Amino acid sequence: MNETFVIGIIFTLINIVIGAIVRSWFQAQTRRVSELTKDMQSLRETLPREFVLKADYNRDIQEIRAELKEIRREIHDGFRRLEERLSQKADKA
């Protein structure tokens, strides 16, 4: 056999082995990316149901506080009117 022919076969085998290794590595990376994509999709679905964004929480708390302040004002006004009515009845009696 010709020495060049043997070297050619060795380089071809090395090329095939390296190609198989690289192909296997790329397939593994593709699988990992696919799994990460599925995980991200799962998080996109579950996070909004289980957790609240800080900005949303702060906005909702501000609305609740404003509503409580209004309710407190209405109760205070109601008691004030009740006291006025009672004092008017006491003056008439």
Tens digit of each residue's pLDDT (9 = 90 or more) over 23-39: 999 999 999 999 999 99
41-70 residue pLDDT tens: 999 888 888 888 899 999 999 999 999 999
Domain identity same for 31 and 75 = no
Domain identity same for 11 and 39 = yes
- First vs last C-alpha separation in the chain: 132
Residues 6+ apart with CB under 8 A from 52: 60
Q: How many domains does the chain have?
A: 2
Residue span of the structural domain in which 17 resides: 1-51
Domain identity same for 7 and 31 = yes
Domain identity same for 35 and 79 = no
Domain identity same for 62 and 84 = yes
Residue with tokens 């003056």: 91
The answer to whether the predicted template modeling score (pTM) of the entire model surpasses 0.95 is no
Domain identity same for 17 and 44 = yes
Domain identity same for 5 and 43 = yes
φ, ψ (nearest 5 deg) of residue 51: -130, 155
